[in-house]
Amino acid sequence: MRETSKCYALRKARGDFDNFLHGRGIDIGCGPDPLKIENGNVRPWDIPDGDAQIMAGVPDAELDFIYSSHCLEHMRDVPTTLHHWARIVKPGGFLYFVVPEYVLYEKMTWPSMFNSDHKQSFSPIISRRHVQRPNHYHTSEDMVPLMSSLGLENFRITMEDMGFNYNCGILDQTLQHAVAQLCFVAKKK
């Protein structure tokens, strides 16, 4: 809930607005919590704008950055989605996307206990071989090679667990103040 707003101070302190999220961008799957930046403008994109997997109508190599918070896990096809997201970013631009982390958010349970629309899961710890599902993505075994094949340089993958209580048990802590997610930043060659 409101993951973009929850992480604003972190992104500002880390320098993400200076380094990645500036110029002309798009916030894919923003819902009622769109990204706000100080240096440039961000077009909100949500269900009424069209299919976030294909991004029809957005010209190739038009944007300085793509931002997406908690949208990729809802897409039918991760490789196709990232292909189209990379397509609309200029060379030298950034894909900046955030997804729930499988161990922290999904509690290693599938289908998701907390969001029945999740079609994909992501983890830096648990491999696809372990879960035995084609819709699970390990950061280094699956995501890094995929991003590389799309002409993206893996710039940063960060676990974000601010406010998360590792001793709290099986609760959706993101309904309050906690985050339980992975943040990917990749630069288009």
Domains defined for the chain, CATH in brackets: 3-188 (3.40.50.150)
What would the pLDDT profile of 102-157 be if each residue is shown by its tens digit? 999 999 999 999 999 999 999 999 999 999 999 999 999 999 999 999 999 978 99
Q: Residues 52-63: pLDDT tens digits?
A: 999 999 999 999
> How confident is the model over 9-19, as pLDDT tens digits?
999 999 999 99
What's the rounded Cα separation, in Å, for the pair 13 and 104? 23
pLDDT at 1: 73
- Nearest CA-CA partner of 184 in 85, 88, 106: 85
pLDDT at residue 35 tops 80: yes
Share above pLDDT 70 across residues of the chain, in percent, rounded to a whole number: 100
What is the Cα–Cα distance from 80 to 82, expressed in whole angstroms?
A: 6
For residue 76, give the DSSP letter: S
pTM: 0.97
Whether pLDDT at 32 is above 90: yes
Q: Which residue shows structure tokens 């960060």?
A: 158
Average pLDDT, the chain: 97
Q: Do 143 and 184 form a contact (C-beta atoms < 8 A)?
A: yes
- What is residue 154's predicted lDDT score, i.e. its pLDDT? 77
